[in-house]
Chain A
Amino acid sequence: MSKPTVASDWLCGCAGCHMSLLDIDERILQLVELVDLRATPITDLKEPDKEGVTVGILEGGINNTANEEVAKRMRERCKILVALGDCAVFGGVPAMRNFFGAESALKRAYIEAESNDTEGKIPSSPELAEMTRVHALHEVVPVDLFIPGCPPNADVIFYALSELAQGRIPEIKDDKLHWH
């Protein structure tokens, strides 16, 4: 039997959950014995295989049409979808803008920011993805496993991945359950 395959991607997050994934350190060697790591944002292959993967991991919430597309593609191509980290699970820090709207967030960043030495301008181009309200992953696609944390602890990530690699659904509770 071939090894289960794992792919990951990041959406509206800070990459911190992937950094925490790397914090499993040398245990990554144990992991690659059990699974075939495919596309990730920190490896060469960027898109999950068309043939599909066993486990898809997404970090970050969904804050524009591009992220929505990536999330939907990952959902289509994986058997088990994991929401990794508080942004994917709840919307996280980016979701703060939902309380006052994308417009005012853009205005604050591009026009009112103290570092602006000229008038400032909100970027606009048909090539840019359209901003939306920040969503938790499960608002857009069905999610099978939630691993909250900002970021989730490396030990929790290692535990979850090794359980998934061995065909079990990990139980995120007690010491492993932290929302930040």
Chain B
Amino acid sequence: MIKLTIDGKNIEVQEGTTVLKAAEATGIYIPTLCSHPQLTPYGGCRLCMVEVEGAPTLQPSCTLPAVNGMVVKTNTEKVMKARKFVLTLIFSERNHFCMYCPVSDGDCELQNRAYDEDMTHWDLQPNWQPFNVDASHPYIILDNNRCILCRRCVRACDELVGNYTLGFEERGADSLLVADYNVPLGESSCISCGTCVQICPTGALIDRQSAYQGKETEVEHHIGVCVECPVGCQRDVLTRDNRLVRIEGDWDAPLNHGLLCEKGRFLPLEDDRDRILTPLIRKDGSLKATTWEEALKVAAESFNNEKGLAAITSTRLPAEDMALFKSIFGDNLKADLVTTLEEGKPTSSLAKMAEKLGKSFETSLESLKDTDAVLSLELDLVDDYQVAGFFIKRQLMNGTKLIVADSKDNKLAEATTMRFPLTSGEEADFLTQLLDAFENSSENPALIEIVNVLKESEKACIVYGEAFAANADETAITLLLNLAEKINARLIGVKGNANSMTAAQLELEAPINVEECQAAFILLGDEDPSQKLVKTLEEVPFVVAQTTYRSQLTGKADVVLPVAMWAEQSGTYLSLDGKMQKAIKSLDAPEGVLTSREVLQKIAKSLSIEPNMDWKASLMKRMPTVQIQEA
């Protein structure tokens, strides 16, 4: 332990702690700009200067390690004067006129720090050098005129995301934040995760969608789990007057620590699908507006006529809704088909293995954060489940080895030389060859390299996706488990949609076969129907669609029940690694639109069904592939 004194307080900290962290731990405030809790210290802005006894000059506390006997002062006249001077220099370097800027008045850390120092003005005027504004990106505007050269964005892109898109060109006052080798951001290697925008302390990186739409003082925050995929990132949905303003990653979230991807951050605000605002019934060939009573009555009649009934749900809905769906259509109505739009493809083979073994064999996504070798099997973590991909990509510079075995083009494979092309459906052969190479070596140099990497690793992870799960039979999964055991690797199964694991727990995994079905109930929620689904339903005489948006499905449906979209409902989601997390209602649904759960309850009532409401117990019945952790 290190003992030091800050502002007269005696403090004990671990060796390696910076003076800034030591001060924060004791509740002593030192203003910062370039420092960020998720980034390694950089010492660029000099705002956190402190006086250290014996040191000839002021020292930046963010990069200064605490040492024994150190005497630090954070609020002397010399320090205060330096702070104002540092701020004056930053303000006078570029265009920091707040009245031109959307983050002014609450959302700008630079302005807030100046307010803290009671700065009514600054003494130096800028040199009026204009920089070009880069508005080439669909979501992000990069304005070098407002940049304070703190490099938070560059460090976030490198250290947190592992994408290495942003960098600096030139030196000193001419320093320019650029993408790649100074190409427009919109044409660069940027993957639109938006971390740079979220971490920028000024208005140098802003997003088009939320600029001027609402400041911190005007918005409401709703922190909950992201429902765009099963990684289970926590996000903060900012709203104003029942309108989405912006989505940010939650810096305090234990898994994603502020990170999100394009799907979780930007795409939900681009949604311009046509909303259905009233129940509809098909009369004389076209859909006509009707009342909830009428629509529910017609729907319920079609469920109850004892002819073939198919009930299919989305896996993007809360666990409560899916359990209710199963109780009504499976346990009570005993429909001929009760399944999900995914037909259990991402989960069922593995879930059956867990049942057979009587134990869970997959592990938490956190394992990816400190792995030394990753084998990615039939899964592209650049295209999908991006945040899990960030965990891998950002470690590659530090020596983590990546092996990609895929039957398709794989963007994650661009980050490694160890690629192994598979033939879809023959994953078991690959695993057999690999296991064989462990025992008897191999003539294939690629396999030998993979074996060597895996043999040397101490914390290997094997990640696999739907394409593996859908093809894998018991043999393939047994081989996978053998491999994992041999190299002591942790297994992570990436599962389809936000609540695919709930579907697996509810055993909603039958293949869709609607032959001889006279009616179908499609609980689509805010998903888009696939072409395949629409085609399949062509042979079903009567279709009830419970959905948010107009689509090809509603074009075919006989009854349409309009429901809330993701932001208008709360509910529970099981992440791919078994974390039970809540999605939080952020907006009120339009009048006349109900949540999926409310509609299911109404359906149950009109059929005089008392559904099982203990959704949690229903989830816990089956042995899960990964241990379920309740929040």
User: Which residues of chain A have a CB within 8 Å of any CB of chain B?
Assistant: 83, 86, 89-93, 95-96, 98-100, 133, 135-136, 138-139, 146-148, 150, 171-174, 177-180
CB pair B125 A91 closer than 8 Å: yes
The answer, yes or no, to whether B115 is at the interface (CB within 8 Å) is yes
11 contacts between A and B (CB under 8 A): A93-B97, A95-B97, A99-B145, A133-B128, A136-B121, A138-B123, A148-B121, A150-B99, A174-B115, A177-B118, A179-B111
User: Which among A93, A98, A139, A171 has the greatest number of chain B C-beta atoms within 10 A?
Assistant: A98
| A98 contacts across to B, CB distance below 8 A | 128
Hey, what's the 0/1 contact readout for B110-130 against A, CB within 8 Å counting as 1?
010001001111110100111
Hey, what's the 0/1 contact readout for B94-120 against A, CB within 8 Å counting as 1?
010111100011000001000100111
CA distance A95 to B125 in the complex (A): 11
Query: Which A-B residue pairs are the 6 nearest by beta carbons?
Result: A146-B120, A180-B99, A99-B130, A173-B118, A179-B98, A98-B128
Hey, what's the 0/1 contact readout for B561-597 against A, CB within 8 Å counting as 1?
0000000000000000000000000000000000000
CB pair A100 B130 closer than 8 Å: yes
CA distance A92 to B125 in the complex (A): 12
CB pair A99 B99 closer than 8 Å: no
CB pair A172 B99 closer than 8 Å: no
Selected contact of B120 from candidates A99, A100, A139, A177, CB within 8 Å: A177
| A180 contacts across to B, CB distance below 8 A | 98-99, 104-105
Further 7 A-B residue pairs, CB within 8 A, beyond A93-B100, A136-B125: A89-B120, A90-B121, A99-B95, A136-B121, A177-B118, A178-B105, A180-B104
CB pair B125 A147 closer than 8 Å: no
CA distance A113 to B334 in the complex (A): 73
| A171 contacts across to B, CB distance below 8 A | 118
| A173 contacts across to B, CB distance below 8 A | 115, 118, 120
B interface: dominant SS:
loop
| B97 contacts across to A, CB distance below 8 A | 86, 90-93, 95-96
For A101, give the chain B residue with the smallest CB separation: B128
| B129 contacts across to A, CB distance below 8 A | 99
With A136-B121, A180-B105 known to touch, is A86 a contact of B99 (CB < 8 Å)? yes
CB pair B118 A89 closer than 8 Å: no
| B119 contacts across to A, CB distance below 8 A | 177
For B91, give the chain A residue with the smallest CB separation: A90
For B129, give the chain A residue with the smallest CB separation: A99
Selected contact of B99 from candidates A146, A147, A179, CB within 8 Å: A179
CA distance A82 to B100 in the complex (A): 23
For B111, give the chain A residue with the smallest CB separation: A179
CB pair B120 A172 closer than 8 Å: yes
Nearest-neighbour CB distance to chain A for B94, whole angstroms, equals: 10
User: Which among B118, B121, B129 has the greatest number of chain A C-beta atoms within 10 A?
Assistant: B121
Selected contact of A135 from candidates B121, B125, B145, CB within 8 Å: B125
CB pair B95 A148 closer than 8 Å: no
- Interface size for B (C-beta < 8 A) is 20
| B125 contacts across to A, CB distance below 8 A | 91, 135-136, 139
A interface: dominant SS:
mixed
| A135 contacts across to B, CB distance below 8 A | 125
| B105 contacts across to A, CB distance below 8 A | 178-180
CA distance A133 to B100 in the complex (A): 18
CB pair A83 B121 closer than 8 Å: yes
CA distance A155 to B95 in the complex (A): 29
CA distance A91 to B125 in the complex (A): 9
CA distance A21 to B115 in the complex (A): 23
Nearest-neighbour CB distance to chain A for B262, whole angstroms, equals: 32
CA distance A98 to B105 in the complex (A): 24
CA distance A178 to B99 in the complex (A): 10
CB pair A148 B130 closer than 8 Å: no
For A146, give the chain B residue with the smallest CB separation: B120
| B123 contacts across to A, CB distance below 8 A | 138
For A87, give the chain B residue with the smallest CB separation: B99
CA distance A180 to B106 in the complex (A): 11
CA distance A90 to B128 in the complex (A): 13
Nearest-neighbour CB distance to chain B for A96, whole angstroms, equals: 7
| B120 contacts across to A, CB distance below 8 A | 89, 146-148, 172-173, 177
| B111 contacts across to A, CB distance below 8 A | 179
For B131, give the chain A residue with the smallest CB separation: A99
Nearest-neighbour CB distance to chain B for A7, whole angstroms, equals: 21
CB pair A138 B130 closer than 8 Å: no
CA distance A180 to B107 in the complex (A): 13
| A95 contacts across to B, CB distance below 8 A | 97
| B104 contacts across to A, CB distance below 8 A | 179-180
CA distance A150 to B98 in the complex (A): 10
Nearest-neighbour CB distance to chain B for A170, whole angstroms, equals: 10
Nearest-neighbour CB distance to chain A for B99, whole angstroms, equals: 4
CB pair A89 B95 closer than 8 Å: no
Hey, what's the 0/1 contact readout for B137-157 against A, CB within 8 Å counting as 1?
000000001000000000000
| A133 contacts across to B, CB distance below 8 A | 128
Selected contact of A93 from candidates B99, B121, B145, CB within 8 Å: B99
CA distance A138 to B121 in the complex (A): 10
CA distance A174 to B122 in the complex (A): 17
CA distance A177 to B118 in the complex (A): 8
CA distance A139 to B100 in the complex (A): 21
CA distance A77 to B534 in the complex (A): 83
CA distance A106 to B165 in the complex (A): 40
For B145, give the chain A residue with the smallest CB separation: A99
User: Which among B111, B118, B129 has the greatest number of chain A C-beta atoms within 10 A?
Assistant: B118
CB pair A99 B128 closer than 8 Å: yes
For B127, give the chain A residue with the smallest CB separation: A98
For B108, give the chain A residue with the smallest CB separation: A179
CA distance A68 to B95 in the complex (A): 23
| A92 contacts across to B, CB distance below 8 A | 97, 99
For B96, give the chain A residue with the smallest CB separation: A90
Nearest-neighbour CB distance to chain B for A6, whole angstroms, equals: 20
Selected contact of B121 from candidates A89, A99, A150, A178, CB within 8 Å: A89
CA distance A98 to B123 in the complex (A): 17
For A136, give the chain B residue with the smallest CB separation: B125
CA distance A96 to B95 in the complex (A): 9
Nearest-neighbour CB distance to chain B for A19, whole angstroms, equals: 16
CA distance A171 to B118 in the complex (A): 9
| B99 contacts across to A, CB distance below 8 A | 86, 92-93, 150, 179-180
CA distance A89 to B123 in the complex (A): 10
| A89 contacts across to B, CB distance below 8 A | 120-121
CA distance A133 to B97 in the complex (A): 16
CB pair B100 A96 closer than 8 Å: yes
User: Which among A136, A148, A173, A179 has the greatest number of chain B C-beta atoms within 10 A?
Assistant: A179
CA distance A174 to B112 in the complex (A): 10
List residues 51-98 of chain B with CB under 8 A from any CB of chain A: 95, 97-98
| A147 contacts across to B, CB distance below 8 A | 120
Nearest-neighbour CB distance to chain B for A105, whole angstroms, equals: 13
With A90-B97, A178-B105, A180-B105 known to touch, is A146 a contact of B121 (CB < 8 Å)? yes
